[in-house]
Amino acid sequence: MTTEVPKFLRPYGLRVDRLFAIGELPVLHAVAIRLRDAGVDHRLIAVALAISQEDVPTLLEIAEAKLSRLEATEFTPRPTAGGSG
């Protein structure tokens, strides 16, 4: 039985890649981080997510904590379909 290491994994280990991890976050957190990473200011993030501007820093703090936890997760490759055996 063979296992494939998905492209989203870093070449130096089996830690979850940041982009993959962001995709695993709840949508609100993922969008907030993507917008922030793109340089969008808190006022526009608030508008895009229909939340108050005062809530943006807290939302980003929670999203970053969840993202850090996901990024630290070890990935276990699954056997590929059609493996021998």
CATH of the domain at 41: 1.10.10
Give the whole-angstrom CA distance, residue 85 versus residue 77.
Answer: 17
User: Which residues form the domain of 43?
Assistant: 18-71
Which pLDDT band holds residue 2 (cuts at 50, 70, 90)?
Answer: very low
pTM over 0.75: no
**SS3 category, 24:** helix
Q: What confidence tens digit (pLDDT) does each residue in 21-50 have?
A: 888 899 999 999 999 999 999 999 999 999
Q: What is the mean predicted confidence (pLDDT) over 61-67?
A: 95
Q: For the chain, how long is the longest CA-to-CA vector?
A: 57
Q: Residue 85 domain-assigned?
A: no
Give the whole-angstrom CA distance, residue 30 versus residue 34.
Answer: 6
Q: What confidence tens digit (pLDDT) does each residue in 5-26 have?
A: 555 554 545 556 788 888 889 9
Query: Does pLDDT of 65 surpass 80?
Result: yes
Whole-angstrom Cα Rg for the chain: 17
Q: Residue 84 domain-assigned?
A: no
Structural tokens at position 12? 């130096």
